[in-house]
Structure 1
Amino acid sequence: MEKKIEETLKNNELALHSLVIFRRASNAISRQEVQTIKKHHLTVAQFGVMEALYNKGNLRIQDLIDKLLSTSGNMTVVIRNMIRDGYIFKVADEKDKRSYLIGLTPAGRKIIERILPEHYDNIGQIFSVLSQEEQEDLVQILKKFKL
């Protein structure tokens, strides 16, 4: 069995190394990205909800879950807390009475409009270690993993 493990490891050494480097880069990017979000006293989930609503308009809860790759349980808590804090509102969807639409309140819109320029600049700074061409290459490489 040990020989099988060694053989498999040898056959996949570059792929395993690539995974380690990818995860380290992903973790470093995530740590840097959340600095702006935390500075404004939001969680990553709250920021994601506000950014999605700002860019896409009012959305059904399921659409937010799909866009943010969240679970319904987690999203329910996030939405409840954001309604409590006055960032978002929830109304019945006129097209589907079983669903609710979530939207930004004026206070939520004001906060996200204050944060987004700084957030976008932060993302630009994070990726400035790559040239424009390298960033385009990275996008094309990572798209190959989309299943």
Structure 2
Amino acid sequence: MKNQDKNLYYAISRTINMIQRDAEKIFSKYDLTRGQFSIMEVLHKNGESSIGNVQETILMTGGNIPVIVNNLIKKGLLVRKQDEADRRRYLLSLTDAGNNLISKVIPEHDALIKEFFSSVGSNEKNTLINIFNDLSAK
């Protein structure tokens, strides 16, 4: 392995860890985990969705989703109901309390991301997006 490859790996890892550490501070302020935030963000953006659609959107393993969903239901932030069109599926949606909470968290999370990448130019961002999309398509 080339030293340059290893340096790139560590640079990416450090960057991800920094963003996640700062994001975790926001989530914990609202008594949320990263997984809970991710599910709530998808439902806030897309509205009522099946568990499978949420899982595909956030790229989380299937084993974690039911636990996270159950915890959000216990907190009164989410409801799960059987799909009338397909009784095998369940649909998730945010409660009013869930919508109110995520409406506070998303702007803080967005501001964190904006600040973190503020020193990176638009062209550089597009280049990075293309590079990471190519790498993740492998």
Output the TM-score relative to the length of structure 2: 0.91
8 A Cα contact 1:36 1:122, kept in partner? no
1:26-65 CA distance string (max 9 Å, x none): 1112212222212211111111111000001111111222
In structure 1, stretches of 5+ residues that fail to align are 1-8
> What amino acid sits opposite 1:81 in the alignment?
N
In structure 2, stretches of 5+ residues that fail to align are none
Aligned to 1:4: none
Aligned to 2:96: 106
How many pairs does the alignment contain?
Answer: 137
In the alignment, is residue 137 of structure 1 matched against residue 127 of structure 2?
yes
> What amino acid sits opposite 2:49 in the alignment?
L
Flag as ranges the 4+ runs of structure 1 deviating above 3 A: none
Which range is displaced more, 22-31 or 103-112?
22-31
Which residue of 1, 4, 13 maps to 2:3?
13
Mapped partners of 2:133, 2:67: distance in 1: 32
> What amino acid sits opposite 1:37 in the alignment?
F
Which residue of 12, 23, 30 maps to 2:13?
23
Which residue of 25, 37, 58 maps to 1:47?
37
> What amino acid sits opposite 1:83 in the alignment?
I
> What amino acid sits opposite 1:24 in the alignment?
R
Aligned to 1:146: 136
CA drift of 1:113 comes to: 0.8
- Report which of the two structures shows the higher radius of gyration computed on alpha carbons: 1
Mapped partners of 2:108, 2:3: distance in 1: 40
1:78-127 CA distance string (max 9 Å, x none): 11111111101011112211010000001100111111111111110111
8 A Cα contact 1:33 1:122, kept in partner? yes
Which residue of 117, 130, 133 maps to 2:107?
117
What is the root-mean-square deviation in Å for CA atoms of aligned residues?
1.4
Mapped partners of 1:25, 1:118: distance in 2: 19
In the alignment, is residue 61 of structure 1 matched against residue 68 of structure 2?
no
